[in-house]
């Protein structure tokens, strides 16, 4: 259901992920065990958080919570936030020991500077590029000084993709392959200095057609 004053892309994204939540969870459940590079990047992120003294870490756009659980397993005080109540329900059922809440990247229900780290793993990809400045400003607002942010997204030239099928369901979902340079500049404008950038080639599977970009930034 659209909420009053809500942008169309938010309504569409919520509806799509509510529809696919259970099937999505099954499909991605074991992905991390097959992705040493993803585990390595998440490990670096976790070490950065712990080196800074630790504290709450938001998995923002957490979906079924697989990465929230992975970060908790690395010793972080991780919790998840997602736009889709269906995803949050799946996450809570799968990881009852962890905290999950419904919320949006555009307006997080979190205090200024309260996070020791934030992960946005393929969750900014459904926000139109022209609206991403506001999301990066919101991420900067909730991060404490020196706290790391790890972003993952499909790389491109800010080109759109319209998914009409997903995880065995008919849906309508827009996404964007983001321009890593533009993202990096906008992160810097928001007060998030990029410390590392990784551009990975497609893995050759049917699911992955584009390069994957990972940016590790630090709140100034
Ligand atoms: C591709 S899934 C990734 C989920 C999870 N990070 C993972 O890797 O398993 C994208 C997730 O981001 C969430 N999402 C998309 N836009 C969002 C927004 N503006 N605010 C909060 N969550 C959002 C979706 O509901 C969905 O669960």
Residue-number span of the structural domain to which 106 is assigned: 8-219
- DSSP 8-class letter at 39: H
Q: Into how many domains does the chain fold? A: 1
CA of 13 to the centre of ligand 1 (A): 8
Tens digit of each residue's pLDDT, the chain (220 residues): 667 789 999 999 999 999 999 999 999 999 999 999 999 999 999 999 999 999 999 999 999 999 999 999 999 999 999 999 999 999 999 999 999 999 999 999 999 999 999 999 999 999 999 999 999 999 999 999 999 999 999 999 999 999 999 999 999 999 999 999 999 999 999 999 999 999 999 998 887 889 999 999 999 9
Q: Are 161 and 173 in contact (CB under 8 A)?
A: no
Asked if the structure places residue 2 within a domain, the reply is no
Q: Are 18 and 173 in contact (CB under 8 A)?
A: no
Name residues whose C-beta falls within 8 Å of residue 16's C-beta, 6 or more positions apart in sequence: 163, 166, 171, 172, 173
Asked if the structure places residue 177 within a domain, the reply is yes
Asked if the structure places residue 126 within a domain, the reply is yes
Residue 182 CA, chain-centre distance (Å), reads: 17
Name residues whose C-beta falls within 8 Å of residue 93's C-beta, 6 or more positions apart in sequence: none
Asked if the structure places residue 39 within a domain, the reply is yes
CA of 41 to the centre of ligand 1 (A): 19
Secondary element (H or E) of residue 200: strand 192-200
For ligand 1, atom 13, name the residue with the nearest CA.
Answer: 61
**What is the per-residue pLDDT for 40?**
98
Q: How many Å apart are CA 7 and CA 71, to the nearest integer?
A: 31
Tokens of 211: 């390069």
Asked if the structure places residue 1 within a domain, the reply is no
For 85, the 3-state DSSP assignment is: helix
Residue 29: Cβ within 10 Å count: 12
Among 50, 44, 219, 52, CA closest to 138: 219
Atom of ligand 1 nearest to the CA of 106: 19
The CATH number given to whatever domain includes residue 19 is 3.40.50.150
CA of 199 to the centre of ligand 1 (A): 21
Name all residues whose Cβ lies below 6 A of ligand 1: 10, 13, 17, 28, 61-63, 66-67, 82-84, 87, 104-106, 121-123, 126-127
Tokens of 41: 């990047």
Q: Are 134 and 106 in contact (CB under 8 A)?
A: yes
**Which backbone phi and psi does 169 adopt, to 5 degrees?**
-125, 155
CA of 20 to the centre of ligand 1 (A): 12
CA distances from 55 to 70, 75, 80, 85 (A): 16, 10, 14, 25
Asked if the structure places residue 75 within a domain, the reply is yes
CA of 60 to the centre of ligand 1 (A): 7
Asked if the structure places residue 3 within a domain, the reply is no
Angle of CA points 188, 200, 12, to nearest 5°: 70
Give the residue, out of 8, 11, 82, with the most ligand 1 atoms within 8 A of its beta carbon, to mutate for a pocket test: 82
Asked if the structure places residue 47 within a domain, the reply is yes
Bridge partners for 196 per DSSP: 216
């Amino acid at each position: 259901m659209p909420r009053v004053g809500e942008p169309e892309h938010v309504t569409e994204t919520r509806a799509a992920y509510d529809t696919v939540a259970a099937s999505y969870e099954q499909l991605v459940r074991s992905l991390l065990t097959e992705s040493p590079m993803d585990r390595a990047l998440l490990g670096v992120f976790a070490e950065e958080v712990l080196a800074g003294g630790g504290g709450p870490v938001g998995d923002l756009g957490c979906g079924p919570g697989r990465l929230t659980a992975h970060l908790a397993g690395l010793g972080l005080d991780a919790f998840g936030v997602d736009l889709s109540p269906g995803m949050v329900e799946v996450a809570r059922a799968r990881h009852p020991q962890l905290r999950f809440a419904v919320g949006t990247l555009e307006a997080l229900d979190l205090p200024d500077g309260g996070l020791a780290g934030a992960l946005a793993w393929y969750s900014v990809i459904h926000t139109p590029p022209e609206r991403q400045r506001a999301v990066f400003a919101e991420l900067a607002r909730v991060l404490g000084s020196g706290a790391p942010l790890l972003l993952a997204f499909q790389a491109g030239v800010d080109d759109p993709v319209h998914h009409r099928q997903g995880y065995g369901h008919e849906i309508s979902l827009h996404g964007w392959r983001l321009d890593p340079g533009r993202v990096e500049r906008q992160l810097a404008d928001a007060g998030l200095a990029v410390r590392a950038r990784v551009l990975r080639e497609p893995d050759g599977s049917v699911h992955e057609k584009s390069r994957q970009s990972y940016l590790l930034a630090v709140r100034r």
